[in-house]
């Protein structure tokens, strides 16, 4: 007989409390695009080894090709998942989202005005959007970055997750007109949810943004820190972008409160952030307390 998730958690928590090992907050992990929970298994094992007794939820939603489904459809289910896990742990949880999973996790957190996510770790995620051939060719081999807007900025393109955060710096008018995801969660488009999206972010105790110059997939790599291209293809630091200066989603508020941590780690390829032991120990484990 398979026990419900709630029962298993209560039993595990009770056992750990008795042994005195329940010292770390539960961690929820969200995988990246075109992969699944199994791709995050090494990271799960490292967490369990270094922080014994940690309850780790390795989310298996939208694996493989299903990860290309509409971004909002994925966020709806991730939000419900985080809400369910959060209710099981009133002491608070940690959420780590890798690559596309970090963007979906952030949107889910923003959509939960009363969440109890204490720390959100964005691990090499395109938080300011994506515009690059190397990433594109992983999914759509025949598309070129300069012409991808013809697909993504359309009704059909918006049915894909990538279309929701494809941010062409030289097609901003089309981006704002057609994109149904990133401009909303970044409050570039004002909606009835804009205030709650900001409140969901400032509710965090800590926002950790991790990325590096040798990622070779997230383009520009600084998007992992909310920095992005301008129309001349120059990368503008996030502190000079409107998303920060206007504090549209609360990043400035978090920084001023000492709750924003920017991690730049060179010599790490995109596929190594969660699979290299030294990288995990250096840039992830310090924030799983």
Give the range of the structural domain holding residue 205, as residue numbers without chain letter.
27-130+184-287
228's tokens: 């992005």
**Residues 75-133: tens digit of each pLDDT:** 999 999 999 999 999 999 999 999 999 999 999 999 998 999 999 999 999 999 999 88
Q: How confident is the model at residue 137 (pLDDT cuts 50, 70, 90)?
A: confident
Could you tell me if residue 50 is inside a domain? yes
- To the nearest 10 degrees (0 to 180), the angle between helices 71-88 and 100-110 is 70
Domain count, the chain: 1
Q: Is 141 exposed, middle or buried (0-12, 13-18, 19+ CB in 10 A)?
A: exposed
Q: Which residues are catalytic?
A: 99, 215, 270
Residue carrying the six token digits 């595990």: 12
Could you tell me if residue 149 is inside a domain? no
Q: Which long-range contacts (CB under 8 A, 24 or more apart) does 169-177 make?
A: 169/131, 169/228, 169/229, 169/230, 169/231, 169/233, 170/231, 170/233, 172/231, 174/149, 175/149, 177/153
Could you tell me if residue 265 is inside a domain? yes
Q: Does the pLDDT value for residue 16 go beyond 50?
A: no
At residue 7, the pLDDT reads 46
**Residues 164-188: tens digit of each pLDDT:** 999 999 999 999 999 999 999 999 9
At residue 240, the pLDDT reads 98
Could you tell me if residue 246 is inside a domain? yes
Contact 54, 27 (CB under 8 A): yes
CATH of the domain at 97: 3.40.50.1820
**Residues 178-222: tens digit of each pLDDT:** 999 999 999 999 999 999 999 999 999 999 999 999 999 999 999
Could you tell me if residue 178 is inside a domain? no
Could you tell me if residue 37 is inside a domain? yes
Could you tell me if residue 148 is inside a domain? no
Residue carrying the six token digits 């929970």: 37
Contact 50, 285 (CB under 8 A): yes
230's tokens: 């301008």
Please state the rounded mean pLDDT for residues 13-30: 67
């Amino acid at each position: 007989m398979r026990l419900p998730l709630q029962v298993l958690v209560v039993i595990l928590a009770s056992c750990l409390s008795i042994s005195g090992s329940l010292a770390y907050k539960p961690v929820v992990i969200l995988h990246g695009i075109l992969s699944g929970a199994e791709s995050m298994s090494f990271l799960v094992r490292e967490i369990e080894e270094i922080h014994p007794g940690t309850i780790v939820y390795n989310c298996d939603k939208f694996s493989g090709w299903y990860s290309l489904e509409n971004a909002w459809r994925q966020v709806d289910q991730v939000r419900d998942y985080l809400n369910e896990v959060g209710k099981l742990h009133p002491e608070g949880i940690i959420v780590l989202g890798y690559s596309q999973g970090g963007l979906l996790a952030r949107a889910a957190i923003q959509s939960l005005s009363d969440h109890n996510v204490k720390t959100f770790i964005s691990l090499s995620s395109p938080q300011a959007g994506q515009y690059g051939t190397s990433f594109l060719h992983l999914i759509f081999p025949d598309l070129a970055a300069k012409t991808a807007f013809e697909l993504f900025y359309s009704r059909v393109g918006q049915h894909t997750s990538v279309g929701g955060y494809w941010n062409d710096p030289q097609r901003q008018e089309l981006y704002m007109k057609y994109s149904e995801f990133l401009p909303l969660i970044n409050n570039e488009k004002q909606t009835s949810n804009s205030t709650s999206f900001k409140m969901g972010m400032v509710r965090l105790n800590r926002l950790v943004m991790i990325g590096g110059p040798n990622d070779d997939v997230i383009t520009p790599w600084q998007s992992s820190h909310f920095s992005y291209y301008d129309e001349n293809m120059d990368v503008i630091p996030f502190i000079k972008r409107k998303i920060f200066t206007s504090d549209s989603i609360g990043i400035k508020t978090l920084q001023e409160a000492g709750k924003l941590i920017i991690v730049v780690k060179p010599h790490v390829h995109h596929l190594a952030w969660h699979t290299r032991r030294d990288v995990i120990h250096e840039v992830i484990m310090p924030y799983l307390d």
